[in-house]
Every structure is written in C-alpha cells, then in structure tokens.
C-alpha cells in the first residue's frame, strides 16, 4: 500500500487499489524463457483446448531430453554463446590425468549408449545434456561442469548448456577419437620417434601395451599383430567406417589409438572392441576366459571380411581376403588294402582327386616330440628348421589323414601377407590338449617360398625367388602354477607378440599386455612361435608390398 500524505484522509488511502501480487515465472519449454500467458479453456468445464495440449506435450518432451538430442538448429537460451569473458570459466577444472576413453561408452546411471557425454572432471559417462538428464543432475549435485559428446566431440558447459569452442581442448578430442591424414600415415612406415604421455613416460606409437582386463591376452597379441599389417592399418586409419557394422568401427578406433602420438597414457584398453566381439561371437570369445589365438584370428578375419562387404563364395571379394587369402592344390587318394603290403603314403597313378582350395591361415605340423629322453639329454629341447616343416607344401610329401593320403602345393599368386600357424596343441586320447615344445628356427629376413609354389610363368618368372620378411611373431610360453584342485602343477598359457619397427630399422619389440621391451632379432627363434605373419617383398626392391 502506498504511503499516504499528511493532509490526506485515512479512509481515502485505504480505498486505493493495492498492486497485483507477483506470479511465479513458468517456462513453457526449454526454448522459451517468456512466462506463459493465461489460457482460456474452450468449454466451461475446465477442459484444455488444443493449445494447452500442445503445451503439455512440450513439457513431456523436455522430460525425455536425455534420450533425444536437443535441436541445435534452433538454439535455446541454454545453447547460446556464453557471455564475454565466461567462455573459459570452468576449463581449469578439467583433470586430464584421470581421463580414460577406452571403456564402453554407456551412461553410468541408465546404461544407455545414446547421446553419451563424458565428464571431463571425473571421467564418468552420462547420457544427455538437457534438463532432467543424468549429466544435468551431475553438474548440479557434484559441481562438475565440462562435458564432451563422445560421438561429435563437442564440448559443453552444464547446466548452462552452451558449447565451448576453445582450441585448448583439441588434445582431449584427439584422445577421444584420433584422426590421421594421408601424410601422417605415410610417416608411420619410417622409423618411429618417441612420444611422452602426461606422466612424462616415453613410448613409441605403434608399440604400446594393451590392458589385459582379465583373460583377453589372446586378443591383445592378435590385435597388435594386425595393427602392423600396412594395408589393413592404412585402411582402418583413413577410411570412413561410420556406415559399416560396429566390429570394423571398434577395431579402427583401437588401431588409431595404438598409433596415436598424442596419447595421455602409454597404453590402451581394448574394452570396447572386446565387448563387440563377445556379443557377435555369442560369448565364444570373452574377457573372462582365455581362448586360442589362432581360433580367434580365424573368426576375426572372417567376420571382418563379411562386415566389409565380402562374399561367402566369391574369393578375394574384400580387403581382408586381398591381403591374406591364397590358394593351394590339394591331391587326395583313398588308401586301399593293397597299400598295407607296401608304402601307405605312395601315390598310385590312378584315382587321384585334385582340387584348388583357398586359405587365409597356413597350418604347419611339427614332428612328434620324443617321448623318452635319457639323463644326458633330458634338458635338450627339440628343434626343427622352418624350411623343413614347409616341405608339407612342396607337392611331393604325402600325409595320411584317416583313410586318405594327401599332398599339398601352394599356387600363384601368393597373398601379400602370409599367415602361418605352427600347430603345437593336439587332443590326446584323454581329450586333453597335448603341447609340443619343439622350437622352430628361422631367420626373420629373406624366407624364399618359391620351392613350395607350383610354377606359373604368367604370374611369376621361373627361377626367381619369392621372398618374404617377418612382420609379427606370436609366441607361446607355459608357466607352471600350483593347482590345488589336482595333484601337482598346472600350466598357465602366456601369449606374447614380437614386432619389427618400420623403415630400415632392424629393431624388434616384444609385448606382453602392458609390458613392452626391446628384443634382439637373433633371439626371435628361441621362443615357441605359434602364429607368424610374413610380408612379401616387391620384385627387385628391398621394400615390402603395400
């Protein structure tokens, strides 16, 4: 009520109209900061009209903002630019030392994988950034204000909701999703220069450790080896795979993180790729149970082949098959009763069935390990040259398989990259895996495969060597551990991978999960090789095939 003047009667002052009381300010939507005008109902019974129904639908849509991204084409007040001087208000709260973007991208509250934002203060994942979303409440309750969209890599400040466009955040965007130009990819083939992480620890891009979450070391060695196959690596680093299935997308992200020279940490976790593999394989390959690397490699290459548009029947229909697929001639003949009197492995002139068979992994058989050894030779490990077990594919050596004798011969053209599997484990009569510890000796350079390939003058000049160089070598090591469930000791499988530096360097690296160390090239064949990847040289050049 207004203060009356001294000469004004009290009765007249009381009769003056008091100011209207203030009504609470109600936002119709997130996009509208103007109070809603009073609405008249169309009927006299209080039923809302069409406009009032639309108002209720907008409020309901606002409550679902965490599931569906706000429309950035019509900026709201929360999405407008920050006032001058406030753009970098909360950037000093970012904690780069605890950020880890390798884990599964899903909200830590709702477990949703849509519109996932990472808090750059604590590193947790939340869905949405609008009102009533987990990220919005996290900003209000905990006071963490800076978030990055894991898909678009845009950074926002919550609860205000405006986007931060500061170049000081580019290093975080690179760690979330590293990208490379063709010029940068070409430099990877040269000798690598060291980089340093946030803890000032030196590491070499391409030769970093992979985290063993529980029992996924079999995946780590295969991923490390394939990340050094040049044409596959270049494709995954440069090609846009957003329209492809999740398997090649997740493997592409892992390969780019392995070769990232601006990483915050000197190791990478394959958690996202492992989750995708577990789902696609119906939990045949998981984080918690160890598997055979060659079985996983075969499954992984076949599924990558199909995910990249490859055909189940047409050969060399995808990049995977163009890199790894070759063909061999298989001759078979049934062993008859007449063979018992003579040599069972001697091929007769008649009834020989021959066919061409494609392959992506070449299996090599080891000679049987000696069952008994005397006291003098009990510590001697049997050895065999690689060229000896390759005689299986010379087209002359016959093998017996059930009631059939078999002969194999490689055919031109051989693939640019040749995968060899040295078969060390075979089931015995007790349905247990029996390990063959025979060492395969080899030189990592200049393996000539011409003696094992059927001549073809149109594809390869006669008498010219067919030279391959070793790229990656996956080894097996059995570690004795005490097992209380049975008497004695059990053997735990340990997988390692050895890889060569790029360029003219002859330096080799050995990696076992997070442990990375240099290794002498002369000592490569002292380990039990299990999977070997060889790269074909170009004709007349010392460089390898691209």
Q: Same domain for 330 and 443?
A: yes
The residue among 365 and 19 whose pLDDT is bigger is 365
pLDDT of residue 189: 83
Q: Same domain for 355 and 476?
A: yes
DSSP string, 101-161: --S--S-TTT---SSEEEETTT--EEE--STTSHHHHHHHHH---EEEETTT--EEETTTT
Two tokens, residue 466: 């067919």
Task: Provide the whole-model pTM.
Answer: 0.80
Tally of structural domains, the chain: 3
Residue 300 is assigned to a structural domain of this protein:
no
Domain CATH for 512: 3.90.70.10
The residue among 161 and 546 whose pLDDT is bigger is 161
Q: Same domain for 208 and 84?
A: no
Domain residues for 156?
77-175
Residue 405 is assigned to a structural domain of this protein:
yes
Domain CATH for 164: 3.30.40.10
3-state secondary structure of 239: coil
CA distances from 146 to 135, 151, 161 (A): 10, 16, 10
Intra-chain end-to-end CA distance of the chain, in Å: 89
Per-residue pLDDT reduced to its tens digit, 426-452: 877 665 778 899 999 999 999 999 999
Backbone angles phi, psi at 28, to 5 degrees: -70, -45
| Average pLDDT of the residues of the chain | 82
Per-residue pLDDT reduced to its tens digit, 450-466: 999 999 988 888 889 99
* H-helix segments, 16-99: 50-63
Per-residue pLDDT reduced to its tens digit, 462-483: 889 999 999 999 999 988 776 5
3-state secondary structure of 303: helix
Nearest to 411 by CA among 361, 460, 468, 446: 460
Per-residue pLDDT reduced to its tens digit, 43-71: 444 444 444 444 444 444 443 444 444 44
CA distances from 499 to 183, 195, 212, 327, 502 (A): 23, 18, 19, 26, 9
Q: Same domain for 233 and 267?
A: yes
pLDDT of residue 380: 75
């Amino acid at each position: 009520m207004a203060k009356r003047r001294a000469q004004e009667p009290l009765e007249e002052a009381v009769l003056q109209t008091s100011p209207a009381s203030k009504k609470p300010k109600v936002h119709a939507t997130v996009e509208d900061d103007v109070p809603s005008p009073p609405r008249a109902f169309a009927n006299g019974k209080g039923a809302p009209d069409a406009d009032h129904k639309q108002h209720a639908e907008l409020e309901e849509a606002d409550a679902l903002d965490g599931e569906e991204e706000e429309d950035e084409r019509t900026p709201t007040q929360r999405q407008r630019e920050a006032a001058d001087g406030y753009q970098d208000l909360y950037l000093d709260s970012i904690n780069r030392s605890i950020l880890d973007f390798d884990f599964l991208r899903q909200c830590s509250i709702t477990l949703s994988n849509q519109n996932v934002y990472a808090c750059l203060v604590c590193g947790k994942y939340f869905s949405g950034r609008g009102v009533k979303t987990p990220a919005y409440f996290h900003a209000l309750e905990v006071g963490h204000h800076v978030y990055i969209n894991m898909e678009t890599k845009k950074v926002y400040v919550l609860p205000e909701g405006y986007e931060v466009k500061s170049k000081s955040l580019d290093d975080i965007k690179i760690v979330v999703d590293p990208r490379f130009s063709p010029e940068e990819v070409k430099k990877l083939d040269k000798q690598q220069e060291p980089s340093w992480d946030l803890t000032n620890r030196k590491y070499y891009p391409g030769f970093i450790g992979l985290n063993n979450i529980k029992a996924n070391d079999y995946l780590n060695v295969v991923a490390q080896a394939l990340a050094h196959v040049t044409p596959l690596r270049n494709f995954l680093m440069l090609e846009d795979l957003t329209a492809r299935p999740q398997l090649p997308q997740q493997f592409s992200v892992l390969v780019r993180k392995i070769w990232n020279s601006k990483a915050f940490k000197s190791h990478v976790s394959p958690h996202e790729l492992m989750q995708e593999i577990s789902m696609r394989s119906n939990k045949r390959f998981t984080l918690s149970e160890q598997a055979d690397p060659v079985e996983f490699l075969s499954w992984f290459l076949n599924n990558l082949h199909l995910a990249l548009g490859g055909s189940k029947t047409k050969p060399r229909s995808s990049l995977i098959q163009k890199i790894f697929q070759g063909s061999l001639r298989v001759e078979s003949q049934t062993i008859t009763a007449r063979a018992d009197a003579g040599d069972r492995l001697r091929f007769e002139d008649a009834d020989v069935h021959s066919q061409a068979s494609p392959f992506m992994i070449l299996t090599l058989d080891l000679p049987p390990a000696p069952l008994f050894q005397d006291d003098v030779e009990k510590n001697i490990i049997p050895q065999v040259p690689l060229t000896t077990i390759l005689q299986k594919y010379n087209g002359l050596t016959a093998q017996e398989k059930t009631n059939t004798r078999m002969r194999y011969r490689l055919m031109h053209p051989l693939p640019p990259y040749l995968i060899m599997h040295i078969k060390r484990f075979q089931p015995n009569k007790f349905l247990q895996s029996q390990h063959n510890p025979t060492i395969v000796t080899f030189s990592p350079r200049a393996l000539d495969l011409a003696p094992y390939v059927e001549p073809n003058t149109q594809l390869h000049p006669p008498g010219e060597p067919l030279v391959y160089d070793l790229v990656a070598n996956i080894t097996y090591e059995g570690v004795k551990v005490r097992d209380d469930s049975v008497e004695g000791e059990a053997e735990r499988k340990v997988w390692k991978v050895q890889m060569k530096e790029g360029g003219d360097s002859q330096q080799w690296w050995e990696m076992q999960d997070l442990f990375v160390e240099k290794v002498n090239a002369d000592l490569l064949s002292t380990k039990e090789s299990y999977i070997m990847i060889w790269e074909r040289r170009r004709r007349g050049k010392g460089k390898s095939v691209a």
